[in-house]
A and B are shown apart, each in its own frame.
Chain A
Amino acid sequence: MAKDGFETLKLVGTRPNRPDGLDKVTGRARYGADFSLPGMLWGAVVRSPHAHARIVKIDATKAEALDGVKAVITRADFPTGLTGEDWNLQENTMAGEKALYDGHAVAAVAATSKLLAEQAARLIEVTYEVLPHVIDVDAAMAEGAPVIRAGAADATVPEGLHPNVVRYMEFGRGDVDAGFAEADLVMERTYKTEATHQGYIEPHACVSKMGADGKGEMWVCTQGHWYIRKMSAAVLGIEASQLRVTPTEIGGGFGGKTTIFMEPLSLALSKKAGGRPVKIVMSRSEVLRATGPTASASMDVKIGMTKDGKITAARAEFRMQGGAFPGAPVDMALYCCFAGYKLANVHHVGYDVLANRPKCAAYRAPGSPNGAFAVESLVDEMCRKLGLDPVEVRLKNGVTTGDRASYGPKFGSIGLTEVLEAVKAHPQLQAPLGENQGRGFAVGYWFNHNGETSVSMAIGEDGTAQVSVGTPDIGGSRASIALMVAETLGIPYEDVGVNVVETGALGVNEPTHGSRATFASGKAAVEATQAAIKEMCRRAAAEWDIDDEAVEWVNGAAQPAGPNAGKFPPMSIKEIAGKMGQTGGPISGHHESVPDGVGASFGAHVVDLEVDPETGRVTILRYLVVQDAGRAIHPSYVEGQYQGGAAQGIGWALNEEYVYDDKGRLSNTVFLDYRVPVASDLPMIDTVIVEVPNPGHPFGVRGVGETGITPPLPAIANAIHDAVGVRMTHLPINPPKLLAALKAR
């Protein structure tokens, strides 16, 4: 589907093997837990078994008496006086006066073996005064709910709300009441989604060392090592530049590895243990209890529609809890929920609420799946009521380039219409459905992000290129960046090596989040490559003794630009590189910026499923993802992102949820009970890559990593309604819930 000047591309759009593939399939790739150092100690963390409790006393005498225990730390070992998000991070890393959720770290220990560290952790005696707790978002903001932290609300919260409401927002335009009055059908419903976990396969792991001089080093699996550096430095009160952080290979993150958890603990333990390296590897249950799951949401949506499907007004009021700290992505949820619709009258209200749960972290398009579930479910229901085709209604109301987004500003180039047209043309819409089978459709959106980006590249003596990026590769970005650099240089893909380098090697990089790596590091890598090309042209010009401007770069070689420039045979990159020592030294390029030109991405999913009416169990029969990639640099990885987003969304819709017992303890802390879909649960997920190039990127790239998780939640709920006629408004739609709804029918 090459479009708009991309016809001449040789490499971009092909599917070579990924550079990290061989190591990964042969078990040689070094992940977080694979790293070890001489003299290394093991760390273990003591965690609160209570959802909310005052820490009365921590007695480590017995643990410290064990032979081989080298350090014990508590909050007393951390600096005081932090404020804002730095304080939140510190408090979440290690509880202070109170444990705020089941799994909250209260102490940590380092010892000469893993078993010993775990034994020592069990011997640390913590005396708690258990406090009333609250888990559910609606309960947390209701009158009389236990106050998690008085004074945590920021300036945006109006008087009179429960102290657990820590952020409030309201925005919109037009006159929604007048808009509802114009509608033929106005509907309003409340929806709920439960907290889920990113479910990355690799648990968090790090090895750190920090000497008495405050100099530290860390090897860690993370999406963003500069964030690890900045946050760890803030929490420990050290200077960022004294800490060198090297990312390992990473076994999944999906947003969950963009922040710190036990990393500062390993540094603090190392310092206390006289600088011996300390390794901490989380268990699965630590990951589920004490890292950063998603927010849960309670959402009211009201929409007005005319008989012919025009939306006249829309209103959303979302309440989200993101754990015991501010930061539930209620803002993002509101921005995204109506983003696909051209609306004159729209109003949004949001509450960010504290509850006794772990501090939420990002998870693929944070907030957007929740909001999409509410809005796309209601739009679907209204289409059915009015006898309208759901795809046509999206087309009729759908935003196009230049339209004003529901959240305020105008859209740049977007491809929603193209996505919807591709859905209409897909054969799945014609596939016959049997008894208890249904088809669901929904649209989703994510802004995508740029962020601080710094990339270097250097030409080797043999004319190959090495690129250094600061965005860990979680979805094939090394392959995609290599393709773009090779295309720009005019050399084979195999001649470009891309490495994710440590914090000492580049300027600050934001993590691989916001679907930004291929967009931002890719764009910076192309700019850096252009700088190197310019230098190579200069070297050729000097050799030929012509003006720099009279040399152009074509097919991996410098050549005179036109007949007037002089008559010289092209000088290949290999020739130029081979002589670099005699022509001015190393040849490299560098670029750093917060790249502009981010391209937003819309997607639409179609799911066919079957409900077992006797058990409420749902089987996915067919699944289609259609999404605008701008330009697919390496289509296999774009497809992989689409399929992965759909798979995670299917899990969120059907079975995944944080289940708490009446004491506020997480009861499903292993993958046997935290039910992510397994491979045999899913059919092959079909993908269509729509390419509406992003003018803000040299190859037209839009981020593709996040949009794919936004439509599955409502698409599945809509398909279930189509199959058995019940409207499920509370996720997950697990068998007990669906069977109960079927019986109540």
Chain B
Amino acid sequence: MARITVHLWSGLRRLTDGDLESVEVDASTVGEALVAVAAQHPGLEPVLAAGVSVVIDGEVSTSRRQVIQPGSEVYLMQRLKGG
């Protein structure tokens, strides 16, 4: 398990405890990271539950089991799809 920085979109700051731009969690997979973020900041829970895209090193993650390498860049974005 590694220390990972999860970048939030700034509209979510208000929902964190302490107006944070990013959240530090210990996680090795996407699923673990999301659970850990919600545990630290229950205000984010409904947003995460409604569905977000997790972008790791520029690529939208395709699975909650996807491994996050230490040092990877992790961004939360509104869920993406298309027409």
Seen from chain A, the residues whose Cβ lies within 8 Å of a Cβ on chain B are 84, 154-156, 158, 168-172, 198, 254-256, 258, 331-332, 335, 362-366, 405, 407-412, 446-451, 510, 513-516, 593-598, 703, 705-706
Contacts and interface: CB of A to CB of B under 8 A. Distances in A.
Contacts, number: 103
Contacts of B59: 409, 412, 596-598
A451 B81 contact: yes
Interface in B1-42: 7, 9-15
Question: Which secondary structure dominates chain B's binding surface?
Answer: mixed
A447 B80 CA distance: 8
A408 B63 CA distance: 20
A170 B9 contact: yes
B55 A156 contact: no
A409 B75 contact: yes
Contacts of A156: 11-12, 15, 47
Contacts of B43: 155
Given A154-B47, A450-B60, A513 B10 contact: no
Given A155-B46, A254-B83, A513-B83, A169 B60 contact: no
Contacts of B80: 332, 335, 447, 449, 514
Contacts of B12: 156
Interface of B: 7, 9-15, 43, 46-47, 50, 55, 57-60, 62-63, 73, 75, 77-78, 80-83
A363 B83 contact: yes
A171 B81 contact: no
B11 A335 contact: no
B60 A170 contact: no
Contact of A154 (B14, B46, B58, B81): B46
B24 to A, nearest CB: 17
A331 B78 contact: yes
Contacts of B9: 169-171, 408
B83 A514 contact: yes
Given A364-B83, A598-B59, 7 more contacts: A156-B12, A156-B15, A255-B83, A408-B7, A409-B75, A411-B58, A514-B80
B82 A362 contact: yes
Give the 5 A-B residue pairs with the shortest CB-CB distance, closest first.
A255-B83, A514-B82, A171-B9, A362-B83, A331-B78
B15 A514 contact: no
Contacts of B82: 255, 332, 362, 364-366, 446-449, 513-516, 703, 706
Contact of B57 (A168, A409, A706): A409
B7 A514 contact: no
B55 A409 contact: yes
A332 B83 CA distance: 12
A365 B83 contact: yes
A51 to B, nearest CB: 26
A514 B82 CA distance: 4
Nearest to B55: A409
A335 B77 contact: yes
Max chain A CB contacts within 10 Å: which of B7, B46, B57, B78?
B78
A665 B17 CA distance: 46
B50 A410 contact: no
B77 to A, nearest CB: 7
Contacts of A412: 58-59
A594 B75 contact: no
Nearest to A335: B77
B36 to A, nearest CB: 19
Given A171-B10, A332-B80, A154 B50 contact: yes
B77 A706 contact: no
A551 to B, nearest CB: 32
A170 B10 CA distance: 5
A198 B82 CA distance: 13
A118 B29 CA distance: 55
B83 A706 contact: yes
Contacts of A705: 83
Contacts of A447: 60, 80, 82
B20 to A, nearest CB: 13
Contacts of A407: 77
A168 B47 CA distance: 12
A177 to B, nearest CB: 15
B10 A158 contact: no
A258 B83 CA distance: 8
Given A410-B57, A595-B62, A513 B47 contact: no
Contacts of B11: 156, 168-171
A484 to B, nearest CB: 21
B57, B81, B82: most-surrounded residue (chain A CB, <10 A): B82
A596 B62 contact: yes
A429 B82 CA distance: 32
